[in-house]
Chain A
């Protein structure tokens, strides 16, 4: 056994042994091993919070591991920094782009490693090399354009180009196709094949079975920060991978929800948004059921529910609440009408991190007489109410005066959920409800939705995680390129059908 590992170490390009990482007492990685060979595409597979991003951040030098050894190209690596990682040929492409929006593509490519002569930039040289690289990659990208003028897909290309500038021996791709179209994805796959033939190792993070099937040589499954197993991609089945990933049968992960569809609470007719991200959308949501909306990043599904809540301007179309037209939605009025919205990005749009849990929780309900009269807060009532709600949501530790910034992802989501309990609400809009929280916290969120629906509320869940929307929803809409591609009910709700509706739409788009 030991001899076996030693043998592999000599041939592996990257070799991690017993890597552990803790964040404020929470084990994000627990003695994880990983080998990547030169010329191999190695998929990291696991749920959100399984430790994939922590692991690739350790490999990229973003932060050091607490324990474990790190060998790259046969040498032991210590005190890795992002700069040093790039210098020795470890190049990451992260999901959160590492581009400076106000700089041009070319300036971003060379950021931190500019070509200069005694402190004076050699602009022409850099431009030439940027052009050459982008041409070689076959990207349709103008090096002199500012990054914030680019679409998300083009930003992704710029990010990949940045990673490939210079000598690359190991490329890390974190869900690189999340914002690419089918054609761009195809081009990326060609590029990956070329890199593999040049003996570059690749670490590839993805949830998409299709990509794993098409690209992977080996797959390492992570769960709850632990290395579960590494398998040959060719000899493993999808079911095996999913079972290893979740550690349970999928239907056990999600609570059994009894949907009792009642009257239509939200009815959207021919809705088009001012920025064009949603076009001619018709859909409805009933009380007593979860309505799911699935789709890739940037398909307009978030914008759709944000428009209903009043966060994205509507160009044309009608939104009806409980049968009555709701014109010019605005957050305050939406709350008064009984609609709540839970944003995907809890840091950017959810919480005031410097303020205590209590204030964050009561924020949406302060206009109610239960919390304030004539503009004066009723502090005792506020404290008692919020403490009771947070106890119900099992906040641990149960201290509501702690600043929201001191909380973990799961606890932050609980503070967001608590807002739903401070006032009478009938429609709940969840935008990516389980992003960035661990499996235990996810289950609590699902149980929370179950209670809402079974109490007769209308719940709309928007999610990029297919298993989640498939399992939770009673009816599922699939969005693509700003339009509803299809509506699936009952037995039609399968991963295959959802994926098929993407492709069907693509085909028609390609033909047109």
Chain B
């Protein structure tokens, strides 16, 4: 009798609500922000400002994609900011050393630098992942530890001084170059987002990450190997953070231990959370996180253009983040059972 009751209930009432729930309030906020800023300040839609926004949004989006993946699997990655810095100095230093050993061999210099940067990212990710998966230490604590350690190593390598000595072609031909009018970083970020979207929707890895974040015990019973996939999320996150570090290095032209840092870490978590990633795990989509990264970057840019005190700006970020989580909770509570 109960099943007959359920079947007779018209499904139309779900339609509108679920569409609103799926897209969320983020695109609306984004459009409102862009429209508002365009009317207030014409400088906002100047080419230079737009390119600036896109470039910064790309860095954040790349890091936030990895962060989102870790959070969806039920973890946390506080070390991303420190990895950005470490990858930056390791890349620059390796290029400088290789350039001294093999002068003029640009392909080798760049390849070794990029490989070293991504390599140190994957090492940090492996340490994070193995500690979480094997030692069962919470991701928060593990990555808090590696954040501190990684930042320390970065400072030791540079002694706080920027590292120069990278080939011209890496900086001018790649980092500061534009293809079809857009910075190269934008293309890299788009590629990352598309690959991650594919991984999330179409691969076993993506599906298992959702399952593990949704209910670890159910995933175990279903025969999913948990450890391998948890390590996978942390390695992905760290490698993406390293990639962002390398892009930043190429753009600025020097490796610096001050890149990334706490600000990047906090913003990546904010982007994930505002982009609908649930801190309980199991929920979240990369493309929304990318839009959320764009939103946060535009917001920062808008606050700068409006000459709002930079000390006041983090307050806005905080308020929006809490509001996003509260909205998420609210919508969850209203859902009926069938």
A residues whose Cβ falls under 8 Å from a Cβ of B: 23-27, 309, 311, 330-335, 341, 343, 348-355, 359-360, 363-364, 366-367, 372, 375-377, 379, 394, 396-397, 399, 402-403, 405-408, 410-411, 419, 438, 440
Contacts and interface: CB of A to CB of B under 8 A. Distances in A.
A369 B243 CA distance: 33
A510 to B, nearest CB: 37
Contacts, number: 128
12 contacts: A349-B220, A349-B221, A352-B211, A352-B219, A354-B282, A359-B207, A363-B219, A396-B6, A405-B335, A407-B337, A440-B1, A440-B2
B338 A377 contact: no
A133 to B, nearest CB: 36
Nearest to B212: A352
Given A396-B3, A397-B338, A440-B3, A353 B214 contact: yes
Interface residues of B, number: 39
Interface in B258-290: 278, 280-283
A375 B204 contact: yes
B338 A363 contact: no
Interface string B201-227: 111110110110111011111111100
Contacts of B222: 331, 363-364, 419
Interface in B228-251: none
B328 to A, nearest CB: 11
B338 A402 contact: yes
Given A399-B11, A411-B338, A355 B210 contact: yes
B215 A352 contact: yes
B9 interface: yes
Q: Output the residue of B9, B208, B282 with the most chain A CB within 10 A.
A: B282
Nearest to B72: A354
Contacts of B278: 354
Nearest to A382: B207
B9 A397 contact: yes
Given A372-B204, A377-B203, A440-B1, A335 B217 contact: no
Contacts of B181: none
B146 to A, nearest CB: 28
A367 B207 CA distance: 11
Nearest to A333: B223
B42 interface: no
A363 B337 contact: no
Nearest to B335: A406
B156 interface: no
Contacts of B2: 26-27, 408, 410, 438, 440
Interface of B: 1-7, 9, 11, 201-205, 207-208, 210-211, 213-215, 217-225, 278, 280-283, 335-338
A139 B5 CA distance: 48
B44 to A, nearest CB: 38
Contacts of A24: 336-338
A352 B221 contact: no
A428 to B, nearest CB: 14
Given A341-B221, A397-B338, 19 more contacts: A25-B336, A309-B221, A331-B221, A332-B223, A335-B223, A352-B214, A352-B218, A352-B219, A355-B210, A355-B211, A363-B219, A366-B207, A377-B202, A396-B3, A405-B337, A407-B337, A408-B2, A411-B338, A440-B3
A337 to B, nearest CB: 11
A417 to B, nearest CB: 14
B303 to A, nearest CB: 34
B214 to A, nearest CB: 3
Contacts of A419: 222
A366 B335 CA distance: 29
Contacts of A410: 2-3
Contacts of B201: 377, 379
A351 B218 contact: yes
Contacts of B5: 25-26
Nearest to A336: B223
Contact of B283 (A348, A354, A411): A354
B223 to A, nearest CB: 4
A343 B210 CA distance: 20
Nearest to A331: B223
Contacts of A354: 213-214, 278, 280-283
B220 A311 contact: yes
Contacts of B202: 376-377, 379
Contacts of B204: 366-367, 372, 375-377
Contact of A406 (B210, B282, B338): B338
Contact of B220 (A27, A331, A360, A396): A331
B227 to A, nearest CB: 12
B205 A363 contact: no
B223 A364 contact: yes
A41 B7 CA distance: 41
Contact of A396 (B7, B207, B218, B281): B7
Nearest to A441: B3
- Of the listed residues B5, B9, B225, B337, the one surrounded by the most CB atoms of chain A closer than 10 A to its CB is B337
Contacts of B205: 375
B247 to A, nearest CB: 27
B214 A406 contact: no
Nearest to A373: B204
